[in-house]
Amino acid sequence: MKAESLTIPDVLLLTPCLHGDDRGLFFEAWNARAFEGAGIQAKWVQDNVSESAQGVLRGLHCQVQQVQGKLVRCVSGAVFDVAVDARAHSATFGRWCGVRLDAETHAAMWIPAGFAHGYYVLSERATVHYKVTDYYAPEHERCLRWDDPDVGIAWPLIPGTQPILAARDARGESLIQAREWFR
């Protein structure tokens, strides 16, 4: 597995070694020793799967208690996956990084606890699988605005369209409000 830091050093792009032949391919999606070698010492408690249509934007979600580290992989289709540092005392607070995750490369993104996370579906349909380090706690969930100008995410939106949002995602909070999330 190749682990590379993104523009925020705590967020990693993890590219597995693919072993393929005319029958198909094999790769290790999780290997505790390899991930610990990359600095990820996670205890997984829940796996989630989300399927979405093209143009759907999910997020940017973060739990302020029972904070979750996430290992995100697109298992069918393609998404633009984003992490925003929501840790108020971090040197990279408010910065974002994003990568294309797709079923061709099988790469995953490690998003540490304290980051807001979301993705935009690039393909006709996409299925995202993610492992989390703590249980879902809706009472502690917050949502950062996907289009907050203070964050300035360069989403690769389909030209001439607006993203398809859930009602709660459309009501996301600003980065200024997010500064208070972990106080």
Say if 16 falls within a structural domain: no
CATH of the domain at 62: 2.60.120.10
Strand partners, 153: none
Q: How confident is the model at residue 132 (pLDDT cuts 50, 70, 90)?
A: very high
Going along the chain, which residue ranges are E strands?
A: 2-5, 12-15, 19-21, 24-26, 46-53, 57-63, 70-76, 78-85, 96-102, 108-111, 115-121, 125-132, 141-143
Say if 64 falls within a structural domain: yes
State the catalytic residues: 61, 130
How many domains are there within the chain?
1
Q: What is the mean pLDDT of residues 135-142?
A: 97
60: preceding bond cis by omega (within 30 degrees): yes
Q: Quick one: DSSP state of residue 1?
A: -
Say if 36 falls within a structural domain: no
Q: How confident is the model at residue 144 (pLDDT cuts 50, 70, 90)?
A: very high
Say if 27 falls within a structural domain: no
Say if 167 falls within a structural domain: yes
**Domain span at 168:** 44-178
Q: Whole-number mean pLDDT of the chain? A: 96
Say if 7 falls within a structural domain: no
Question: Residue 182's pLDDT is what?
Answer: 83
Taking alpha carbons only, the member of 84, 81, 88 closest to residue 96 is 84
**Quick check: 183 pLDDT over 80?**
no
Say if 39 falls within a structural domain: no
